[in-house]
Chains A and B, each alone.
Chain A
Amino acid sequence: MSYLIKLDEVTIGYDKNGILGPIDLTIDRGRFWGVIGPNGGGKSTLLKTVLDLIPPVSGTVQTQAGLAFGYVPQKDKFDPIFPVSVDELVTMGRYSRIPPGRRPGKADRERVRQAMNMTGIIHLKNRTFRSLSEGEKQRALLARAIAGEPDILVLDEPTASVDVKGEARIMELVRNIKHEQGLTVIMVSHYLNTLTQHADMMMLIDKDRSLFEAGTKEKMMNSVSVTGFFGLNPIEAPVE
């Protein structure tokens, strides 16, 4: 099996109601996939289907055996009533390797510390997650995702509500982590510019227009769907 994830004739949706499909997609190791599309266009539904958090309405999602995911959900997903510290949050990323009923050991705590160091949040470890700035929250979620030593990093709008400086810092982190650890990345973003700078593969999804297209960045940046969607003239994509 050469691919990490393969979608065959998949229709995505909730409660047996399909919203878009059929989708055929193959995610290979080491790629950086950018996912673009309008709000409510089905991006998060597709991510959740890929992650096996919701079943496909039809078709099959195959993943390589033993594939470990690092998931950075949208930061607003977490209920601020929980006084969870940054240390506790990042440690949860390690639970992919700690079965129920077992507690984190010394090696797990060391890995958590490394993840916090790598993302520059070690000084925030005793702060509550809810008290952090938007950029700090994203770095804490990134630390949590890499603490589990994943093969594939899935990021849902990691730069939303972050200022330009914070966005640059997060994207630099993602790029460094990808290169250092040889990860595959799938990232949803509203910002075409961010994705074209970092992704080598792209997919466009819009359920209202029954549209799903995927391919290399160069192919997608000249696709009528993408240029039409963003109101652009077909141009050569920026090179990293």
Chain B
Amino acid sequence: MESFELFMNSYFLWRDPMIVGAVAGAVCGFLGVYVVLRRIIFVSAALTQISSLGVALAFFLGASTTGALATLVHPFILSIALTVLAALFFALKRDFSRISAEGVIGFGFLLASGAVVILGDRIAQGAHDIANILFGSAVVVDPKDVYIIPAAALGVFLIHRVLYKDFMFVSFDEDSARLFKYPVRLLNTVLLVSIAVMVAVCTRALGALPVFAFLALPPLTALFLTERLKLVFALSVMLGVLSAALGYFFSFILSTPTGATMTVCAALFFMIGLAWREIKIS
């Protein structure tokens, strides 16, 4: 009770990170439904790592860059640029010299993960900053993120509101979409780029681990709880928000790492969902 009072009295401390976390949880929960249904969870893992690489690379280059070039190596810009490029590559390139698409995605994930650690070893801020990028640092956030992340989320929601039918059609039955002359490649690219943009924006604020968790666990949990597609989206958004908010709360009162606590909260919801499903079908 005392901890709760302390938490409530510290409103000025957690308001911004809570807003950022909740919006990130909502939008990643929403986009994650496509990630899970299309069975591209590994793509989202690779994108979060590549986004982290963008942030680490910006730290590394920032130390030795001045003037106009310094703007270009801003973590925000570099992270989005690298993640969107990777998403475009995954969306547009289908033939990988007889290597499966999963193999190339795994290559991207491992290369980015290794490069982040190497860059972390070389930058002045050191290992602590890199750990924050990878595992989540949302104790405090950049004040600009309170505007950037909701604005990006609003843009993505608007695109998805207009193209919901089309994204679901190409995800469920690509052959029929081609038969009906839908621009399948363009729709797949827009969908993946919208995921990439939110991954990049959210990873810089929260870290790779919670963003990956929000893309995978709330949608999987929602699929345990309902058989209705539109309700899967609604539940996944709610679970993303709850995981972020409760994760932040417990991180605050238990003094645990924020990103990891958000991830564990999402995982607990997943276990509850799984138990519910098992009870229901038994």
Query: Which chain A residues have a beta carbon within 8 Å of chain B's beta carbons?
Result: 15, 48, 51-53, 69, 71, 73, 77-79, 81-85, 88, 92-93, 95-96, 98, 100-101, 103-104, 128, 131, 148
Contacts and interface: CB of A to CB of B under 8 A. Distances in A.
A101 B177 CA distance: 13
Contact of B36 (A53, A81, A92, A98): A81
Interface residues of B, number: 27
Contacts of B182: 95, 100
22 contacts: A48-B175, A71-B175, A77-B173, A78-B172, A79-B39, A81-B37, A81-B39, A82-B171, A83-B226, A84-B229, A85-B229, A92-B172, A95-B165, A95-B176, A95-B182, A96-B179, A96-B180, A100-B165, A101-B162, A104-B165, A131-B227, A148-B180
B215 interface: no
Contacts, number: 69
Contact of B179 (A51, A83, A98, A101): A51
B195 interface: no
A69 B179 contact: yes
A56 B178 CA distance: 16
Interface string B188-228: 00000000000000000000000000000000000100111
B100 to A, nearest CB: 15
Contacts of B226: 83
Contacts of A48: 175
A158 B68 CA distance: 63
Contacts of B183: 100
A92 B229 contact: no
B36 A85 contact: no
- Please list the 7 inter-chain residue pairs (A to B) with the smallest Cβ-Cβ separation, ordered nearest first: A96-B180, A100-B166, A83-B227, A128-B227, A83-B229, A82-B172, A53-B178
Nearest to A148: B180
B124 interface: no
B13 interface: no
Interface string B55-91: 0000000000000000000000000000000000000
A101 B179 CA distance: 17
A142 B67 CA distance: 64
A78 to B, nearest CB: 7
A53 B223 contact: no
A71 B223 contact: no
A82 B36 contact: no
Which of B36, B37, B180 has the most A CB atoms < 10 Å from its CB?
A: B180
B134 interface: no
A102 to B, nearest CB: 8
Contacts of B175: 48, 53, 71, 73, 77
Nearest to B164: A103
A92 B179 contact: no
B163 interface: yes
B232 interface: yes
Contacts of A52: 178-179
B106 to A, nearest CB: 21
Contacts of A73: 173, 175-176
Contacts of B157: none
A132 B163 CA distance: 28
B176 A92 contact: yes
Contact of B187 (A15, A83, A100, A148): A100
Which of B95, B175, B177 has the most A CB atoms < 10 Å from its CB?
A: B175
Contacts of B227: 83, 128, 131
B43 to A, nearest CB: 16
